[in-house]
Amino acid sequence: MGRLLSSIVEHEIGLNAEFIVTENAGEGHQPPKNLGGMEVTLIQNKLPRGFAENHNAASRQAHGEYFCLLNPDTLFLEQVFPELLQHIEAGRADVVAPMVVDMRGTRQDSFRDLPTPLELIQRRFLRQTTVEGSISAGKFIHPDWIAAIFLLMRADVYRQLGGLDERYYLYFEDVDFCCRARLAGLKLLVDPGLKVRHDARRASRQDLRYLAWHLQSAWRFFTSQVYRQSRKL
């Protein structure tokens, strides 16, 4: 978490922001002391909470006009907030994100079409993880959903949608959220001209607990009304 915050301070010169840092029951995520004078709110959980519950709690603490979900393993490589905010203010989209790359600069599959049960099987058990083909320079992407590695929107949009669904645990919260956003008539946008770095852990491929949470969340999503309605979009 300290590396993420330091990278924001380094690249987002002049950013007027409030950082809300969640320490999830002893994880030890202490923010660096020098954050360019920006406000830091630390939430310390006595018991571990899920991804959705943590972000919803943070949204209730937030005071700004905009709200950004950030995975703690993300690193800023350049300034991205001004252009992303411009997309929202210009009405191009309601939920926006930069392109996500790994430590080698390889584009990650951080935005996708609406998933299907077959696709999940192929990705999880056959390891068929693919990234969509080439992207034209300057062309914005309007996917069905964007991974919650980085999601920026107006704070009232997040609250009007009810935040992330806390019935999901670590998986499919972002798929469900983006589907509900699209069902509400909101637009999603990824700007490929802006990049942040994130190295995926793929924990469900190594730990049976994560695999169980992944499959439970997948079952909840694929049997939900949100999924059925989203297939008609």
Chain centroid offset of residue 204 CA: 18
- HSE at residue 7, side-chain half, CA atoms within 13 A, is 19
pLDDT along the chain (233 residues), means of 10: 86 90 71 68 86 95 95 95 98 98 92 91 65 64 97 98 95 97 98 92 67 92 98 94
pLDDT of residue 134: 53
Mind listing the domains of the chain with CATH numbers?
A: 2-230 (3.90.550.10)
Prediction pTM value: 0.90
Which pair of tokens denotes residue 8? Answer: 């924001």
